[in-house]
Amino acid sequence: MTKPDRRRWFNSHVTAGYAIAVGSVAAAASGSLWLGIYAVGAPVSLFLCGIMFTAWFGGFGPGLLATTLSILAFKYYYTVPFHAFAVDVKEIPRIFVFALSALFAGVLSAAQRNATESLRRARDDLNGTVQQLTRSNQALHAENAERMRAEEALRNAHADLARVARLTTMGELAASIAHEVNQPLMAVVTNADTCSRWLVQDPPDLDEARQAAERTVNAGHRAADIIRTIRTLARKSTPEVTRFDINSAITDVLALTRGELQRYDILLETELSAGLEPVTGDRGQMQQVVLNLVVNGIEAMTASARRPRVLRVSSRMAGPGDVSIVVADTGTGLDTAEVDHIFDAFFTTKPEGMGMGLSICRSIVEAHGGRLWASPSSPRGSVFHFTLPAAAKEVLNGRAG
């Protein structure tokens, strides 16, 4: 409602209130004159009813007018001297009591009307607030649903990008992977042929044949393990949370890079602590982290003419319930100005790099409740550390919570 509309509504409301005041008193006076012959005290009740009716529908102003008119009518028609406004001293208490009663009834009725009106406005305001909150809640639900869809799309995009990074890294290691797979397959063929020769002898040498068969089985298992690792790194699926041995996962990854290490004359030193507590997470994602750090170390050392070239991979328990994995190289090292940015998305020091490998690695480690950081190595090279909570620690934390 506009301001002029409100003003017009108020003026019409006030006019109607005063008209009600005059009409109520006139009706009360007419009724009292007609009933005055038959009922004693009827005028007081009628006038009070008229005042209350006026104050209720018209408010305090019309109620006060109705009270004043009622007092005048009461004095004029029902006190001595009749039909005159002169006041007899003996009638003063009666007029005073009537005036006090009329005023009290008018004020009480007007106050009740104001209270009722206030409650109505409060109810309307509350209804408006509830409607506004309902709309806000619906908008919030819609926004939350949209945010969840965006987060889901972001997770899917991140998973696809991580898989692309894995496949890119594996593509760079294609020759080494083929060599690693070919070795156990050739061993299977050689041992199977040897077993056949021992069996066709007369008499057959069963002990030698059995040993050759055992070597065949072992080579087959080795080939299966390599293929399993490759499939784990190449698969596109939701993370599979399991308890696994981090040393075994590291060993499988190093097997895929053995050819690259030999090709670039890099010495591999491992110090994998025995008796490590298992960790909980996605084995394939953890292998991706290790593979990326190892490949980065190899590339850093091949870019440097310095000797010797040494890649050190170690694992140990760090603190209460944390497993620490360290990948160190003797390559070009880290620029102090770049240490704080190497984990940023799209930051790379390699001309052909995407700048996503280390960013993805940090996201994976942090999603597993761990931490990944880098530091320079003395006298040269770089060291990458990452920690993972041990499965036993997660169980304790779960019980404590």
Instruction: Clarify whether residues 71 and 210 are in a common domain.
Output: no
- The answer to whether residue 150 is domain-embedded is no
Cis peptide before 203 (omega within 30 of 0): yes
pLDDT at 268: 92
Give me the amino acid identity at 56.
W
pLDDT at 327: 93
Give me the amino acid identity at 191.
N
Distance CA 181, CA 87 (A): 126
**pTM, to two decimals:** 0.51
Q: Please say whether the beta carbons of 260 and 177 come within 8 A.
A: no
Give the dihedral sign, CA 91/93/99/102: negative
Instruction: Clarify whether residues 72 and 39 are in a common domain.
Output: yes
Summarize pLDDT for 150-185 with one digit per residue, the tens. Answer: 877 766 666 666 666 666 666 655 655 665 566 667
Instruction: Clarify whether residues 306 and 207 are in a common domain.
Output: no
The CATH number assigned to the domain holding 224 equals: 1.10.287
Residue 401 — very low, low, confident or very high, per pLDDT cuts 50/70/90? very low
Question: Domain limits at 287?
Answer: 239-400
Summarize pLDDT for 329-380 with one digit per residue, the tens. Answer: 988 777 666 666 676 755 555 545 555 577 778 888 888 888 888 888 777 8
How many independent structural domains does the chain possess?
3
The CATH number assigned to the domain holding 274 equals: 3.30.565.10
Summarize pLDDT for 228-276 with one digit per residue, the tens. Answer: 666 666 565 566 788 899 999 999 888 888 888 888 888 999 999 888 8
Buried b or exposed e, range 169-200, using 16+ CB within 10 angstroms: bbeebeebbebbbebbeebbeebeebbeebee
Q: Please say whether the beta carbons of 187 and 240 come within 8 A.
A: no
- The answer to whether residue 261 is domain-embedded is yes
Q: Please say whether the beta carbons of 251 and 290 come within 8 A.
A: no
88 to 44, 80, 91: CA distances (angstroms) = 19, 6, 5
DSSP state at residue 390: B
**Which of 198, 215, 236 is at the close of a domain?**
236
Give me the amino acid identity at 127.
N
Mean predicted lDDT score pLDDT of the chain: 77
